[in-house]
Every structure is written in C-alpha cells, then in structure tokens.
Amino acid sequence: MTHPPHSLKLPHMKLIATLIVALIAAEHIGIMIMEMFFWDHPVGRGIFDMSAELSAETKVNAANQGLYNGFLAAGLIWGLIAKKRDVTIFFLLCVLAAGIFGGFTAKPSIFYVQALPAALALAAVWMSGRRDA
C-alpha cells in the first residue's frame, strides 16, 4: 500500500486512527456479548426488538454470530497491540464487508453502526501514513 503525501497527514492522525479502531473493537466485543449471552434475555430482546419465541428459536445462531464478532474484535486488537497495520486493515475490511452485507440483508442500520465506522477507520489508518496502525 502506498503512503499518502505528507500534505495529507494530519498531526494526530495516528492517535485518531488508533482510537477509532479501538472503539470498533470495543463495539464488536459488545455485540459478541449481546449475541452470545443476552440474545434470549429481556435485554437482548429489547435491543434487537424480538419476541421471546423468536429469541429462543434463534439463540444458537446468534451465539455463532457473536463468536464471529469476537474474532473481528480480536483481530483488531491484535493489529493494534502488535502495531501491524496490514492486520488492522485486513480486519477493518472484514468489518466493512460484514457491515455492508448486514445492511443489505438484515437491517439497514447495520450499515451505519458497522460499515461506516470501519470505512472511517480505514481512511484514518491510511491517512496516518505509517506502517503501524
């Protein structure tokens, strides 16, 4: 990946990129917890607007989805801790793809809460112009 010209680098873009990626990782940890442990619970039913019957019928699938969200969070955290820009970019692209797919197939708001933040994080990582994310 080529680096942006120095004129595009903002003074604190590295910090901004790191904070956005960390927030996305935290969001996916939260999604993991909700899907794995609170799906078939009044809290989860309220957040996802489901009946008790629907949440009971779909809790195994939701737990599986939650595990995948945990993997996304783990990858983003790995990229940040190891300072591996390529790893961070890969997992942000995974989040972006999941957000776009979910926005079209499940609920349009997924685009705004998952895909849009991932796109912003990708832009910030790119604009940071450094090898580490």
Q: Rounded distance, CA 37 to CA 48, Å?
A: 13
- Residue 4 within any structural domain of the chain: no
Structural domains counted in the chain: 1
pTM metric for this prediction: 0.86
Q: What is the pLDDT of residue 132?
A: 46
What residue numbers bound the domain in which 65 lies?
11-128
- Residue 2 within any structural domain of the chain: no
- Residue 94 within any structural domain of the chain: yes
Q: Rounded distance, CA 50 to CA 28, Å?
A: 20
Q: What is the pLDDT of residue 45?
A: 94
- Residue 53 within any structural domain of the chain: yes
Average pLDDT value for residue range 64-88:
97
- Residue 1 within any structural domain of the chain: no
